[in-house]
Structure 1
């Protein structure tokens, strides 16, 4: 299976530089970042913190002067580059890193062209941009990196982050419940492996880490509305997990 080639385009004016390493590690889970560019007016002191980060992570800075006060010219440069990359046919997907809703139409256009679009931004990101992406990941959940390594699988499943950025509210539970029922077989069972991607189609910013869980299974167990059946395949401790509504 060929791994997707991704173009990573970063709006330096609208995201912090503090957790770029963790963000690139997250991107690597979805494909290979073959193009990495970041846009800003680099003459401004407000983006000076990015400069060391660029060298450490091989990100190409694109200079865009602000010709008019109050206007973000970096947005236009990023959008033009994205369309050039799209027509070059060198990538299979895009990672747009910004908390700015100005990229909503760009994300929609890229998806119309058959590209996978993954968004990264802060919790304050407007809903339209989030909804325009196939998947949206909040930068806040990456600040602590991945969950600490735990030897026992059961310990991993029980582990929670101390600081979730969202609560498991009734709307989230409703989406999970509806998704389980949508995918259920004749006996009401749903394969967990299919559930996460299906929920993302309804809620692009869904991620168990938002709620303090490392994986989907411990989140499902914590909700305590589903019966769970774990089947040992007998191969390398691999389990097939199914669930249905109680």
Structure 2
């Protein structure tokens, strides 16, 4: 970092090390292997919202309740490479239940979801 931006100093941001600054930003995943740290940008939850949005539009439409379990099955069929673990969830159902968006509503039991409005693409 010193050769690219010699005037950059993590202490300006109240962190002694770059790794501490990156952790504080909460924008990156940091993995420690032995004495090496690997850093990558956290994936955007917007991708999840778009997938859920598109599947609901294709199979149910606006303001129609759909089972989270059935929605998860459809998502897995359409997007077999979708991995909820990169977002910190064990399965697609968990990630759907974590949605907090003005575009979706979950029922009280978190077993069904509906799309409230169309998100602009």
TM-score between both structures, scaled by the size of structure 2: 0.47
TM-score between both structures, scaled by the size of structure 1: 0.26
Q: Which structure would you say has the larger RCO, counting Cα contacts within 8 Å and 6 or more residues apart?
A: 2
